[in-house]
A = this chain, B = another copy of it.
Amino acid sequence: MSEIKQKSVEVFLDELASRQATPGGGSVAAVMGAQSAALTSMVCNLTIGKPKYAEVEEQIKALLQQSETLRIQLTDMIKADVNVFDKLMACYGMPKQTDEEKTIRSTQIQTVLKQATQVPLDCANACAEAISLSRQAAEMGNTGVISDAGVAVMAGYAALKSAALNVYINAGSIKDRQFAETKLAELEAILSDADVATEEIYQIVKEKL
């Protein structure tokens, strides 16, 4: 089966809407995060080389390098979400007749639940970075395409809040509460200033339109 990123936008949307369990919200979070990074890259690409922005050229080039690295990471996360979900579903499908089978199944579920918590947490982290990069694009980028920095921050924000939901779900089922609480605390730290930062960046853009 081909990877989601190789499917057309239209087919991706069709599969999303269908009764298939994947792709779902986790993949959408990664796609929105990748769109955010891509738009920051676009602003950079349309700023570099313009005499009016010569003063920030080096910073914009560095920003572009970061946003492109992040875009690749987030694009790969589209698949990571599906993979870990499928792995978890396979665990739930394991035999549970004997006590031994029950123990093996339960242990395996717990192991994969930790991975299924880490995957969206990594996505949330990447999305927070996407928000932060969009701020630089909004502050320094070509004002002729500054609205794209505004879309970048909104896409990154929606992606972050979406990834967070998947962390909550999976962390909630983990028996190792110390692990779960640590991950939830990491998530809260990532989320803590996201609302304010997003609003600030959106306003920076709106005032430059």
Contact = CB atoms under 8 A, between A and B. Distances in A.
Interface in A128-159: 145, 147-148, 150-152, 154-155, 157-159
A38 interface: yes
B7 A8 contact: yes
A147 B169 contact: yes
Interface centre among A14, A28, A168 (most CB of B within 10 A): A28
B17 A31 contact: no
Contact of A209 (B12, B24, B165): B165
Interface in A1-27: 4-10, 12-14, 16-19, 21, 24-25
A78 interface: yes
Copies in the complex: 2
A157 B155 contact: no
A95 interface: no
Interface stretch (A40-48, A55-63, A105-113, A177-185): A40-48
A124 interface: no
A24 B141 CA distance: 15
A32 interface: yes
A206 B168 contact: yes
Given A8-B8, A151-B158, A155-B162, 16 more contacts: A5-B9, A5-B10, A5-B13, A6-B8, A10-B75, A16-B39, A17-B38, A25-B147, A25-B151, A147-B165, A154-B157, A154-B159, A154-B162, A161-B202, A165-B206, A169-B209
17 contacts: A6-B8, A6-B10, A13-B38, A13-B75, A16-B42, A17-B38, A17-B42, A18-B45, A19-B46, A21-B46, A24-B145, A28-B39, A150-B162, A151-B162, A154-B157, A154-B158, A165-B205
